[in-house]
Amino acid sequence: MAQVSELLRAGSGVDLGSIDPAGTPGLPDTKQVRRDPKSWARAELADLGTQLARRQEMLYACAKKDRAERRRVLLVLQAMDCGGKDGTVRRVAGTMNPQGLHIVGFGPPTPKELEHDFLWRIRHALPEPGLIGIFNRSHYEDVLVARVRDLVPPKVWQARYAKINAFEQELIDSGCAVVKVMLHISYDEQRRRLLQRLRDPAKYWKYNPEDVDNRAYWDAYQRAYADAIAECGTGHAPWYVVPADRKWYRDWAVAHLLLDALDHLDLAYPPPDFDPETEIKRMERDGTG
């Protein structure tokens, strides 16, 4: 499992052009996987989901029992349009208990949000102790779309890398594990997915004509992503680049990354703050035991 996260971790030397969006790093090379990788990965995801749900319950239980507990997890999902953020939330977060999740999507800032620093709305959306937070887009939009579409002057977005690093360090110091994932799709795969949205009336709601305009900025976005990953891929809050043209690989890989982060929290069910034997005796005296 550690191997998948090591293979996908991206740092200062990241070269997105050399990462195949249809690749499947870390997938075992067995006969069964070669025969039908998709079915294999879907079955594995179910198993990973069971493990995720168990760890999530431990995390939740620890915070429920101990007010001083600070541990929580934040999964940041970033991608180009049609990159599969929604699908990842559905498939990976869908394996866990909704009560222990805190899922927030970020669109263009509202007038009220624009009155504040770019991290203001992010701070308000953080998971409480015991929860797994998932950001569908995030503070990274403020060094991606804000840069590519000239929403702020270069000086402003350039200064944000250091602010993001300080913010994430603060988060980690306060007990929050941070996992940042770029779902890496190809230009052609985005085209296929946009066409699917246009050909299926049940998907019209996901289509935005601006997505086609944005395709003209593809290369600028890739540069902005590479810089964000290079500038903010710190040791404590690393960036992972997950090849995402194949949805079954994407979900399998993100589940691994999340499980890895939870494993690093070294979780266990909280010990009882009562004596189970005494309580059982009390129940027996109660007459129905």
Footprint on this chain of ligand ATP (rule: CB under 6 A): 81-83, 85-86, 106-109, 137, 141-142, 145-146, 151, 206, 208
Binding mask 75-114 for Mg ion (x = CB under 5 A): ------x---------------------------------
The smaller minimum CB distance to ligand ATP, of residues 9 and 137, is found at 137
Q: How far is the CB of 142 from ligand ATP (least distance, A)?
A: 5
The residue (of 48 and 164) whose beta carbon lies closer to ligand ATP is 164
Q: How far is the CB of 279 from ligand ATP (least distance, A)?
A: 49
The CB-of-170 to ligand ATP minimum distance in angstroms stands at: 20
3-state secondary structure the chain: CHHHHHHHEECCCCCHHHCCCCCCCCCCCCHHHHHCHHHHHHHHHHHHHHHHHHHHHHHHHHHHHCCCCCCEEEEEEEECCCCCHHHHHHHHHHHCCHHHEEEEECCCCCHHHHCCCCCHHHHCCCCCCCCEEEEECCHHHHHCHHHHCCCCCHHHHHHHHHHHHHHHHHHHHCCEEEEEEEEECCHHHHHHHHHHHHHCHHHHHHCCHHHHHHHCCHHHHHHHHHHHHHHHCCCCCCEEEEECCCHHHHHHHHHHHHHHHHHHCCCCCCCCCCCHHHHHHHHHHCCCC
Q: Contact 56/258 with Cβ under 8 angstroms?
A: no
Q: Considering the complex, what minimum distance in angstroms separates the CB of residue 160 from Mg ion?
A: 22
Could you tell me the smallest distance in angstroms from the CB atom of residue 20 to Mg ion? Answer: 24
Task: CB nearer to Mg ion: give 69 or 86.
Answer: 86
Cα–Cα distance for residue pair 250/232, rounded to 1 Å:
22
Of 238, 127, 125, 232, give the one whose Cα is nearest residue 181.
238
Nearest to ligand ATP of 142, 168 (CB atom): 142
As a whole number of angstroms, the distance between CA 279 and CA 31 comes to: 53
User: CA–CA separation, 45 vs 120, rounded Å?
Assistant: 35
Cβ of residue 5: shortest distance to ligand ATP, in angstroms? Answer: 24
- The distance of closest approach from Cβ of residue 79 to ligand ATP in the complex, given in angstroms and rounded to an integer, is 6
CB-wise, 37 or 105, nearer to ligand ATP? 105
Among residues 56 and 190, whose Cβ is nearest to ligand ATP? 190
Q: Choosing among ligand ATP, Mg ion, none, which partner's interface includes residue 146 (Cβ < 5 to 8 Å by kind)?
A: ligand ATP
Q: Which partner in ligand ATP, Mg ion, none is near 97 (CB below 5 to 8 A by kind)?
A: none
- Asked if 141 is part of the footprint of Mg ion (rule: CB under 5 A), the reply reads no
Q: How many residues bind Mg ion (CB under 5 A)?
A: 1
State the binding partner of 142 from Mg ion, ligand ATP, none, CB within 5 to 8 A by kind.
ligand ATP
Task: Name the residue with the smallest CB distance to ligand ATP.
Answer: 141
Task: Determine contact, residues 102/128, Cβ cutoff 8 Å.
Answer: yes
Nearer to ligand ATP, 52 or 254 (CB): 254
Q: Which residue is nearest to Mg ion (CB)?
A: 81
In the complex, the residues that contact Mg ion under the rule CB under 5 A are 81
